[in-house]
Amino acid sequence: MTSFQILKRLYKDYTNKYLKNILISLLFSLLLAGSTSSIAYLLDPAINELFVKQTGSLIYIIPGFIILAFALKGISLYLAKIIMIYVAEEVRRDIQTDMFSSLINADTQLIDQEHSGKFVTDLSNNINMITALVSTAILNLFKDSLTLIGLLSVMFYQNWKLSLIAIIMIPLASLTAKSLGKRIGKVSTHQMQKTALLTTYLIEIFKNHRLMKIFQKEKYEKERANEFIQQLKEINKKMNIIFVRASPIMEALTGIMIAILIFVSAKLVVKNELEVGNFFSFLAAMMLAYQPVRSLATLNITIQQGIAGARRILPIIDKEHEIKEKVDAKELVVSKGQINFENVKFKYLRGDNQILNSINLNIQGGQMTALVGHSGAGKSTILNLIPRFYDSDFGDIKIDNQSIYGLTIHSLRKNISLVSQDTTLFDDTIKNNILYANSEASDREIEEAVKHSFANEFIDRLPNKLETIIGENGVRLSGGEKQRLSIARAILKKTPIILLDEATSSLDAETESKIQKAINFLTKGRTTIVIAHRLSTILSSDKIYVIDQGTMIGEGKHEELLNTSNVYKNFYEKQIKRS
């Protein structure tokens, strides 16, 4: 999008709804411009009437008007800023809400492609630039433009010849602003990228601090951090230097202009074409005009920064999701819970290798079906396709003869529970983590879920029981304890379809035994698809599918596969030897 299109979009979607507030701020900007101009104008009668003519009757009136003008100026500026701060924060909230809504509904593939640190930077730092564009830029455009018009009016009223000389400064300042604005736009984009990289790096370090310590990489990571910080320092320094570069240019222009005006004014006074009072009023107006001219000169910098921020934010908000419902999508009605894969093909990205090749599966309702195969064979991908974390490239997946692509996503996922080896927990209480599956569950239902998942064994030992804060991703819990909470969540959800992705991996024998009992309770009478490298956990499955390089190469019960599938037989014999 062009800069104009971005500004038009920001107005249409975010600032237009606050137009009433902006117009009120404009009204106060008018009062500000009028009061500032009147201050400069009042110097003319103040000097002529009080000092030259010494008119005693005005000795209280003119100073009174000056006090009133300054008071009106202060109040108007305060109210105009307050209103625009309100507008800016409302716009910030709206943009953050839209961006978060887009990310929370985004395809799993999009989230997997980008580091979370970049999204965090966009939600905080980059939106600040757009907020500055809405608040600072709009307010300064109003108040400084109107003030400059008012002061120029005073200047022309006092002496049009001097005003024509002074007005030359405005295009010179504009050329300076345009040049600096282009540079700040490029630097701002670079700065946002470096900030995102630093945020990404810090998240990685905090998440993997144990790994860093065990491999004694503190010195290495300090050097990496210093490199990121140094790069960000350099880009920030460059950006701030561009900001202040306007000051010496404006100061020099102003100095030259004042010198020329004093020279010309002296000539006009000698010729009786200019009175002293007119000159001081003109000079005051010109000096007061310096601030709005300087502000307008740097306004383009703020605008370019805001546009640079919007270039990163708006594409995220506008991102069209590939996982979406049909207009006539229906609610899923589960009767038996039978799942069928019909000639399903899938690859993660265009150009990537095929992950699944014409997969055909018949998963009976209310039974346990296991998927066996080497790592990378496509087992987890099969699980991920059922709740539509991804969509297949070809073929169909049906639940009780209902295509999942013709169902509402909410009703589909409402009927599915997932327990994986990578347990995800929030930095909250144990109770709230379990309730995440069903926020309306009663205390009795929570107790039952905790009991049947064997989570009560460690929860009862904690001082705060269910109200214990477990830390980021359950860092204060062991792997087995986190897994039991994950199972408790699935029990509480009470879905007819259960997906288990290596839920008993990397556990000691005793913990695995308890978790296996919890899984047996969870899956009883429900359609269950389980992935497990340990064949001992799936020997009693009603059906086992052997997956190899994205293709289903064998199916049957354990005893059948020992006779019909060499891949499965090799798996089994290797594990028997290891045990």
Domains located in the chain, CATH noted? 3-318 (1.20.1560.10), 337-415+497-506+527-579 (3.40.50.300), 422-494 (3.40.50.300)
Sheet containing 402-403: give its strands across.
356-363, 339-346, 394-399, 402-403
Burial, 537: exposed, middle or buried (Cβ in 10 Å; 0-12, 13-18, 19+)? buried
Q: What whole-number distance in Å separates Cα of residue 11 and Cα of residue 127?
A: 15
Per-position pLDDT tens, the chain of length 579: 788 888 888 888 888 889 899 899 999 999 999 998 888 888 777 776 666 667 777 778 888 888 998 999 899 999 998 998 888 889 888 888 888 888 888 777 777 777 677 777 777 777 888 888 877 888 888 888 888 888 888 888 887 888 887 777 667 666 666 666 666 666 777 777 777 777 777 777 767 666 676 667 778 778 888 888 888 888 778 777 776 766 677 777 777 777 887 888 888 878 887 777 777 888 888 778 877 877 777 777 788 878 888 888 888 888 888 888 888 899 999 999 999 999 999 988 765 678 888 899 999 999 999 998 888 888 888 999 999 988 888 999 999 999 999 999 989 989 999 888 778 888 888 898 888 888 888 889 999 998 888 888 888 888 888 888 888 777 788 888 888 888 898 899 889 999 988 766 556 667 777 888 888 888 888 999 998 777 777 777 889 998 888 888 888 888 888 888 888 888 887 776 555
CB 547 within 8 A of CB 355: no
Q: What whole-number distance in Å separates Cα of residue 510 and Cα of residue 416?
A: 28
pLDDT score of 163: 81
pLDDT score of 338: 93
Strand, coil or helix: 528: strand
Q: For strand 497-501 and strand 339-346, is the pairing parallel, antiparallel, or unpaired? A: unpaired
Buried b (16+ CB within 10 A) or exposed e, 97-133: ebbeebbeebbeeeeeeebebbbbbbbebbbebbbbb
Give one DSSP letter per residue of 376-401, joined into a string: TSSHHHHHHHTTTSS--SEEEEEETT
Q: Report residue 445: phi and psi, to 5°.
A: -65, -35
Q: Which residue bears the tokens 């009605």?
A: 333
In 3D space, the residue among 531, 464, 453 whose CA is nearest the CA of residue 498 turns out to be 531
Strand, coil or helix: 40: helix
pLDDT score of 143: 85
Q: What whole-number distance in Å separates Cα of residue 441 and Cα of residue 421?
A: 25
The Cβ of residue 226 has, within 10 Å, a number of other Cβ atoms equal to 11
Supply the pTM of this predicted model: 0.74
In 3D space, the residue among 128, 149, 126, 137 whose CA is nearest the CA of residue 22 turns out to be 137
Q: What whole-number distance in Å separates Cα of residue 397 and Cα of residue 408?
A: 14
The count of residues in the chain is 579
pLDDT score of 218: 76
Q: What whole-number distance in Å separates Cα of residue 277 and Cα of residue 195?
A: 55
In 3D space, the residue among 183, 182, 190, 207 whose CA is nearest the CA of residue 126 turns out to be 190
* The token pair that represents 562 in the structure block: 């020992």
